[in-house]
């Protein structure tokens, strides 16, 4: 493939295509599951019916006119790029963001890459003695993210752009209420949208992680849990009761001094997580909960939320 021509036909920066080529090299890709098996796999990955129907409609069959040679090259090399870092836990983009309005092949290319990697990463899990139930629960974050993206009507984050490559490489595990991200000396905590963040649920998840990582990754030494999130912004305590779930979650952490995080806008992250919209005017956002009212009132007062980083001993 001529990389410059490929970039032009995909309508993406040429540097992104050269990056994919460099990181994937001549490494092996992985086949997608058989098309007949795909509906059952999508169901296990908690993919909602509307998204599953789109994914099946855009399936990269050999003769499909939806798939140009450039798209097929990008799919193959994106799979190889992620597979080459199997076992890695750093942030990794699988490729350029594609135009979303050109059909399911374009919109879901990285979903197909994820599907091709499901058996690869499950093999990695088995090699580390990880139960199949943990594998499927972790990998089902695909469906959660597709549902968010559909609800946000394209305002959300492109599926598998960095975040879900962690799942596809064995870098993140969903254990109870929290997702646990392998790191250097700390286990990173992520809070999915999956119910109340009660102290009891958090305690149970932390206890599960304390047993999980020494058992399955005995060569890794962790001394702390860490988290970066708007949920740790102390400004929330101006609005929320001190016995609220968020306040009690914050109390676990010792915060690092505040520094703006490059590439993270906490206001955007709060709106995305709490309201699942980035374009609805503040006056039209719901105010049903204390948290919703706090978010809106804070922003309407001309103030901003902050992304804070904290940790506590393992």
| pLDDT digits (tens), the chain, 314 positions | 799 999 999 999 999 999 999 999 999 999 999 999 999 999 999 999 999 999 999 999 999 999 999 999 999 999 999 999 999 999 999 999 998 889 999 999 999 999 999 999 999 999 999 999 999 999 999 999 999 888 887 665 555 678 999 999 999 999 999 999 999 999 999 999 898 999 999 999 999 999 999 999 999 999 999 999 999 999 999 999 999 999 999 999 999 999 988 888 999 999 999 999 999 999 999 999 999 999 999 999 999 999 999 999 99
CA distance 92 to 71: 20
Q: Specify the pLDDT at position 101.
A: 85
CB 47 within 8 A of CB 142: yes
Burial of 132 (0-12, 13-18, 19+ CB in 10 A): exposed
- Written as six digits, the tokens of 282 are 């503040």
pTM comes to 0.94
Q: Which of 79, 33, 84, 83 is nearest to 59 (CA)?
A: 33
CA distance 239 to 242: 9
| Helix axis angle, 14-24 to 69-83, nearest 10° | 50
CA distance 187 to 185: 7
CA distance 176 to 302: 37
Q: Which of 105, 163, 104 is nearest to 139 (CA)?
A: 163
DSSP per position, 36-69 = GGHHHHHHHTT--HHHHHHHHHT---TT-TT--H
Count other Cβ atoms within 10 Å, centred on residue 262.
5
Q: Where are any strands of DSSP class E within 191-246?
A: 224-229
Q: Specify the pLDDT at position 152.
A: 83
Q: Which residues contact 165 (CB under 8 A, 6 or more apart)?
A: 82, 85, 91, 92, 93, 94, 171
Q: Specify the pLDDT at position 219.
A: 96
Q: Specify the pLDDT at position 157.
A: 58
Which letter does DSSP use for residue 196 in this model? -
CA distance 201 to 176: 7
CB 301 within 8 A of CB 293: no
Q: Specify the pLDDT at position 156.
A: 57
Q: Specify the pLDDT at position 160.
A: 60
Structure-token match 């309201």, residue found? 275
Structure-token match 């676990």, residue found? 252
CA distance 115 to 32: 6
Q: Which residues contact 42 (CB under 8 A, 6 or more apart)?
A: 52, 55, 56, 115, 143
């Amino acid at each position: 493939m001529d990389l410059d021509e490929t970039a032009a036909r995909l309508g993406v920066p040429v540097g992104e295509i050269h990056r994919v080529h460099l990181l994937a090299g001549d490494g092996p890709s992985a086949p997608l599951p058989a098309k007949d098996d795909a509906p059952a796999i999508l169901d296990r990955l908690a993919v909602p019916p509307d998204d599953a129907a789109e994914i099946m409609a855009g399936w990269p069959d050999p003769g499909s006119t939806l798939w140009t040679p450039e798209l097929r090259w990008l799919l193959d090399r994106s799979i190889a790029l992620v597979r080459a870092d199997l076992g890695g836990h750093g942030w990794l983009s699988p490729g350029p963001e594609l135009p979303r309005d050109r059909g399911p092949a374009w919109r879901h290319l990285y979903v197909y890459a994820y599907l091709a990697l499901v058996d690869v990463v499950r093999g990695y899990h088995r090699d580390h003695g990880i139960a199949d139930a943990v594998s499927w629960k972790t990998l089902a974050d695909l469906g959660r993210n597709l549902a968010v993206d559909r609800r946000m009507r394209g305002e959300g984050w492109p599926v598998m752009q960095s975040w879900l490559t962690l799942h596809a490489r064995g870098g993140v595990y969903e254990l109870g209420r929290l997702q646990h991200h392998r790191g250097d000396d700390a286990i990173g905590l992520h809070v999915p949208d999956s119910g109340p963040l009660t102290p009891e649920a958090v305690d149970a998840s932390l206890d599960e992680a304390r047993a999980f990582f020494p058992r399955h990754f005995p060569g890794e030494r962790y001394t702390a849990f860490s988290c970066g999130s708007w949920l740790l912004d102390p400004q929330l305590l101006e609005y929320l009761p001190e016995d609220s779930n968020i306040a009690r979650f914050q109390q676990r952490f010792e915060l690092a001094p505040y520094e703006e995080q490059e590439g993270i806008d906490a206001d955007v992250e709060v709106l995305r997580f709490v309201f699942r919209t980035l374009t609805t005017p503040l006056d039209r956002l719901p105010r049903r909960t204390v948290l919703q009212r706090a978010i809106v009132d804070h922003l309407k007062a001309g103030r901003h939320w902050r992304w804070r980083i904290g940790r506590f001993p393992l």
